Amino acid sequence: MERNRLSNGGFWHDLDNWTASDASYAASDGDEHYGMAVLGPGGYVEQEFTTPSARSWTVHLAIKPDTDNLATSDLTLRVVDGDGNTVLTQNAGTVTADAWTEQTYEFGLAPGTTYTLRIKNNRGSGDIKIDDVWVWWVPLTRAELATRVNAKLARLASTRSLSTTPAGALTEGDYTYAVDAGLRAVGAIDPETDLPDVRYLEANLVDTALDAIEQEMIEQLQRDYAVEVDVKVGPRQENFSQRARQVKALAGGGGSGRVVMRKLTHQAEDFELGD
């Protein structure tokens, strides 16, 4: 099941289920994204959706401006309820041109009404491509997972200047690949793409995922310190080898010892039928 309160949030083959104005479909633009909506100047796409429970929901989208960078309010997300009340107005902020940027926002919604999400290009000129639009509840976003592990590593992280700040495709900075690994470790994988996806992170596996992300970062630090040598200049001395041994001891802990239980799924090709 596509974990999305919206329909066709990936724009796989068209703009079906979306109301569009000055917007068109594009199959590809030569990179990793297949299927997208292209918003012309003043153009938008919008869709109605409902929620089954009152909680904080996450909205995600990928953005790619044309040759000009996005200014603060060039792209706006707006959510209104069935009575026309504005629930959320969110500017996408500054976004680098000709590159995909992933963004997520959180906001509270309750059942009992129909909501409408509109994504609009406010620029006077220049197209904006959008893709992977979804609204779903996640116990912790990728950014929150990275932030918690960064805080837990404390001085280990600050000493090596590890950052959770997005940088291009590294949506969680230095923690991006570790978050991918942590999600894979607990089976939080989109079955459609076989890629790590925080929408598939179950609440009871959050701590296990955090442990796996932390372990990945500790192993990275271990390899980093392994090539360092002790330095002594006059009365000043830095014992990097001591740090390397301490990090190695942490890496050898082998994780939390939690047992991860996931659903076992089968496909038709997994079986051979006899005569």
The DSSP annotation for 168-214 comes to: TTBTTGGGHHHHHHHHHHTT-EETTTTEE-GGG--GGGHHHHHHHHH
239 lies in some domain: yes
203 lies in some domain: yes
7 lies in some domain: no
* Structural domain total, the chain: 2
**Among 101, 136, 171, which residue terminates a domain?**
136
Instruction: Return the bridge partners of 34, or none.
Output: 28
Entry pTM: 0.81
Q: Please check whether residues 159 and 226 belong to one and the same domain.
A: yes
Q: Please check whether residues 169 and 258 belong to one and the same domain.
A: yes
What three-state secondary structure class fits 245? helix
Q: What is the CA radius of gyration of the chain?
A: 22
Q: Please check whether residues 121 and 160 belong to one and the same domain.
A: no
Instruction: State the pLDDT at residue 41.
Output: 96
Instruction: State the pLDDT at residue 257.
Output: 47
14 lies in some domain: no
5 lies in some domain: no
> Would you say 178 and 164 are in contact if contact means Cβ atoms under 8 Å apart?
no
Cα gap 271→170, rounded to integer Å: 39
191 lies in some domain: yes
Q: Please check whether residues 33 and 150 belong to one and the same domain.
A: no
Residue 83: CA atoms inside 13 Å, Cβ hemisphere, count? 4
**Among 113, 136, 159, which residue terminates a domain?**
136
Residues 242-260: b if buried by 16+ CB within 10 A, e if exposed? ebbeebeeebeeeeeeeee
Instruction: State the pLDDT at residue 99.
Output: 87
132 lies in some domain: yes
Q: 3-class secondary structure for 82-143?
A: CCCCEEEEEECCCECCCCCEEEEEEEEECCCCCEEEEEEECCCCCCEEEEEEEEECCCCCHH
Q: Please check whether residues 130 and 41 belong to one and the same domain.
A: yes
Instruction: State the pLDDT at residue 79.
Output: 97
* pLDDT, tens digit (0-9, with 9 covering 90-100), for 172-188: 999 999 999 999 999 99
12 lies in some domain: no
Q: Please check whether residues 44 and 126 belong to one and the same domain.
A: yes
Q: Please check whether residues 118 and 182 belong to one and the same domain.
A: no
Token reading at 79: 């959510």
- List, for the chain, all residue ranges whose pLDDT scores fall below the cut of 50: 254-257, 259-261, 266, 271
Range of the domain at 241: 142-268
* pLDDT, tens digit (0-9, with 9 covering 90-100), for 103-126: 999 999 999 999 999 999 999 899
Cα gap 159→48, rounded to integer Å: 47
Q: What are phi and psi of 102, to 5 degrees?
A: -95, 135
What three-state secondary structure class fits 44? strand
